[in-house]
A and B are shown apart, each in its own frame.
Chain A
């Protein structure tokens, strides 16, 4: 009963490097989200997906790309990392209607440092 699993948990990058964060959920949820959390700024939505093969921009999408090729996986990519992308990244998933759409299950987070 894993819920939402994020890999890796920690990563240090140099400016300009690229990387991909993987999110996997086993609850058959339609919706998946990527948030970043910085001190004093709460959770800010980067990108989200309302179903397999679909993605949409959130509040802070610049510098990130996503893909949802399979329903259970949601990938977040950084093509050319910048120090401003140092943050904790949370993936979440939810159902697609009623209360289920408002109950997000979060992963444990991925802590990324860009030097």
Chain B
């Protein structure tokens, strides 16, 4: 099976940088992705890393190290609208098993 660990809460001020770490254990790794969820609404896709390195999408970046089973999401120039829950997720690619499992989520609170 899979397990993912990420911090439960992070608080920061507007304009700051926040890094959300995610460590995972899976028997057949097939990529790490990140999702954002506002106030219990529908989660939305942010980024995906299949290979080692940094992927940048505007103010958000995601990093993956497969050898360390570790990734992070970097939120730069924080804005109030970034207050949300952030989930890392891994897909286990074994035979026909294409389950996507999520971490418990990190609640980011942005203060003025």
Contacts and interface: CB of A to CB of B under 8 A. Distances in A.
Given A96-B98, A101-B91, A103-B48, 9 more contacts: A43-B102, A59-B99, A102-B50, A102-B91, A106-B42, A106-B44, A107-B42, A108-B42, A109-B41
Nearest to A6: B42
A42 B41 contact: no
Contacts of A102: 30-31, 33, 48, 50, 89, 91, 100
A20 to B, nearest CB: 20
B104 interface: yes
A22 interface: no
B101 A59 contact: yes
A104 B102 CA distance: 12
A102 B87 CA distance: 13
A45 B98 CA distance: 12
Q: Identify which of B1, B98, B105 gathers the most chain A CB atoms within 10 Å of its CB.
A: B98
Given A99-B48, A103-B45, A109-B40, A41 B100 contact: no
A40 B104 contact: yes
Contacts of B50: 99, 102
A36 to B, nearest CB: 11
Nearest to B105: A42
Contact of A43 (B1, B8, B43, B45): B43
B71 interface: no
Contacts of B33: 102-103
Interface in A3-60: 31, 33, 35, 37, 40-45, 48, 50, 56, 58-59
